[in-house]
């Protein structure tokens, strides 16, 4: 499963990329607004940092204009993915863009049937929103499992990009459910590294090391 970061904050993206586990970035109008910077300037800088799929959202509601915006996104960089909301007009646009070889990320998915029609029209990615389903009493992870089952049954190649992730446990559940990608905020990506027992064990080892006689093996100055 690939790991994407869901943000437009350059410092977070640069830091996450330095860890070696990041595969891509998802952005949206909210993230761009929160960055406080010019839209195109932010997007172009992200392309210089991350060598992987970068989702950039279109904002129009009619197919013809969505297509024009998606073409403009695709022209920015070879890794650009046009992010398009699920609607009749949006999926009409996805059909045309797919035929042109333009990568699309169909977003705001809240049902397996929405994921099905997006795949039929050639979406590159489908973005089911997990946590937003959970907060209204529905089961976001069951949606992921159902989409995986449908795509496997019928051979759809659309990648499941699990979105609206708010806990490390949801990342684990995505792995177990067969999601192709999980996108998450910086703090959740960082939390994948941590466990309190690891911290306790490391503290114990470092304290015990103080009782070990000095060694030239770890003396970097002497090694030089």
Tens of pLDDT along the chain (224 residues) come to 999 999 999 999 999 999 999 999 999 999 999 999 999 999 999 999 999 999 999 999 999 999 999 999 999 999 999 999 999 999 999 999 999 999 999 999 999 999 999 999 999 999 999 999 999 999 999 999 999 999 999 999 999 999 999 999 999 999 999 999 999 999 999 999 999 999 999 999 999 989 998 888 888 765 55
Domain segments of the chain as ranges? 2-194
CA distance 10 to 46: 7
Q: What is the pLDDT of residue 221?
A: 65
Residue 215's pLDDT is 85
> Cα torsion at 37, 86, 60, 179 (round to 10°)?
30
- pLDDT number for residue 171: 98
Phi and psi (nearest 5°) for 87? Answer: -170, 170
Predicted local confidence at residue 224, as pLDDT: 59
Task: Give the pLDDT of residue 222.
Answer: 58
Q: Which residues are catalytic?
A: 83
Domain 2-194 = CATH 3.30.479.30 = no
């Amino acid at each position: 499963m690939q790991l994407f970061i869901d943000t437009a904050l350059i410092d977070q993206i640069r830091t996450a990329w330095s860890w070696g586990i990041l595969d891509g970035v998802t952005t949206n109008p909210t993230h761009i607004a929160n960055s406080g910077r010019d839209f195109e300037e932010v997007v172009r800088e992200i392309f210089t940092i991350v060598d992987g799929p970068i989702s950039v959202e279109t904002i129009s509601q009619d197919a013809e204009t969505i297509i024009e915006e998606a073409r403009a996104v695709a022209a920015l960089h070879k890794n650009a993915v046009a992010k398009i909301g699920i609607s009749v007009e949006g999926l009409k646009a996805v059909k045309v863009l797919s035929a042109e070889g333009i990568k699309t990320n169909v977003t705001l998915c809240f049902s397996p049937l929405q994921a099905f029609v997006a795949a039929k029209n050639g979406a590159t990615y489908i973005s089911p929103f997990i946590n937003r389903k959970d907060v209204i009493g529905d089961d976001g992870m069951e949606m992921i499992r159902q989409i995986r089952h449908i795509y496997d049954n019928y051979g759809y190649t659309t990648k499941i990009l699990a979105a609206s992730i708010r806990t490390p446990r949801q990342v684990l559940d995505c792995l177990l459910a067969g999601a192709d990608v999980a996108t998450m905020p910086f703090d959740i990506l960082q939390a994948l590294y941590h466990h309190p027992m690891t911290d306790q064990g490391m503290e114990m080892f470092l304290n015990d090391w103080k009782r070990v006689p000095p060694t030239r093996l770890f003396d970097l100055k002497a090694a030089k």
